Amino acid sequence: MMTHSFPLPAGSTIGILGGGQLGRMIAMAAAQLGYRCHIYAPESDSVAADVAAAFTCAAWDDAGALARFASDCDVVTYEFENVPVGPLLALAPGLLAPGTAALEVAQDRLNEKRFVTELGGAPAPFAAVDSADDLAAAVAAIGAPGILKTRREGYDGKGQWRIASAADALDEGVFATPLVYEGFVDFACEFSVILVRGRDGEVRFWDSTHNTHENGILAHSKLPAPQIVGEQLAAARELAQKVAEKLGYIGVLTCEFFATAGGPVFNEMAPRVHNSGHWTIEGAVTSQFENHVRAICGLPLGDCASVSQRIVMDNLIGEGALDIVRHLSDPRAHLHLYGKAEARAGRKMGHITRVG
């Protein structure tokens, strides 16, 4: 039966909305602490369900299935930010952590940028775009080159177009969905601030890695980060904590930044555990996945300190990612494969972390 008495005792059930690799790693961390997990996802080939105690495969708007799932759970969380908010409003108050407020902000890039600006953050210059005329006005005001993005959906480089002028986006199909135009940011490097906030309001941070992307997909996260990241970390952490506190957030929250000559520029937030924090499994005293479980279950938070200042996490993407023998020929490699059977171009199949 559902309970709202925290901390949750061992043997309680954590519901996870979404069936991908992030849910898989949350479930593995939860099992280590004695919890069972129930996965809810619309796709039948869930890699998270492979390591969970129960699995409900149903549409997000299947009210009956969602209610039965919720009745089996003592707390519910989510592993990605595009779970529709509407159906979640039927869940019992207090059951969902982090809650729907973070989803409502993160699911719309325009709302997200406005939200962060109100908190004193500095995103790239931006403008709403709903037509070719809007884009022309945005480019005139902000300048080019820039990035045209869908306001909703889109990840790992999808739903984004780098344009040198408004004419580059004259395909009328582009304007079938609400968009946002962002000015180009001249940055030294990219980094993320990953924090965990407990039910008592305590906030802890992991070290920030230098993140590099290839074809819009995170490829590597490394410690130590360049000096400029350290110089801008306090300001970036202050903003990330303001975001968490404004949202009444519980769990792991990620904010991505560009390190620039003028200070940290906010890129986007992810109300969940994050790819750039996978290194914490071996590289931190307490991983992002374990601390997310601790937070939503009302447990004391674990130490986020790094066990070494030389850590590299490499994503395994596309073909060749499942070559276990080759990966483990390096005795330092901590290999994590996500249980996906088919390797495709641009598909995250796993990661390797090397510590020290």
For residue 326, give every residue at least 6 positions away whose Cβ sits within 8 Å of its Cβ, in sequence order, or none: 320
As a whole number of angstroms, the distance between CA 332 and CA 129 comes to 48
159: annotated binding-site residue? Answer: yes
Q: How far is CA 76 from CA 2, 67, 99, 101, 237, in A?
A: 10, 12, 9, 15, 27
118: annotated binding-site residue? Answer: no
104: annotated binding-site residue? Answer: no
Nearest 5°: the CA angle 343, 344, 349 is 50
As a whole number of angstroms, the distance between CA 230 and CA 163 comes to 32
Q: How far is CA 245 from CA 2, 201, 253, in A?
A: 26, 8, 11
6: annotated binding-site residue? Answer: no
As a whole number of angstroms, the distance between CA 273 and CA 294 comes to 13
267: annotated binding-site residue? Answer: yes
268: annotated binding-site residue? Answer: yes
> What sign does the dihedral 226-232-234-240 (CA atoms) show?
negative
232: annotated binding-site residue? Answer: no
213: annotated binding-site residue? Answer: yes
3-class SS of residue 253: strand
Write the burial class of residue 238 (CB in 10 Å: 0-12 exposed, 13-18 middle, 19+ buried): middle
As a whole number of angstroms, the distance between CA 292 and CA 286 comes to 10
3-class SS of residue 247: coil
64: annotated binding-site residue? Answer: no
113: annotated binding-site residue? Answer: no
Consecutive H or E run containing 231? helix 227-246
Q: Both tokens of residue 50?
A: 């492979």
- Closest C-alpha to 102, from 277, 272, 265, 235: 272
Distance of CA 109 to the CA centre of its chain: 14
156: annotated binding-site residue? Answer: yes
263: annotated binding-site residue? Answer: no
Would you say 19 and 46 are in contact if contact means Cβ atoms under 8 Å apart?
yes
149: annotated binding-site residue? Answer: yes
158: annotated binding-site residue? Answer: yes
Residues tagged in the binding site annotation: 109, 149, 154-160, 182-185, 190, 213, 267-268
Binding residues for ATP: 109, 149, 154-160, 182-185, 190, 213, 267-268
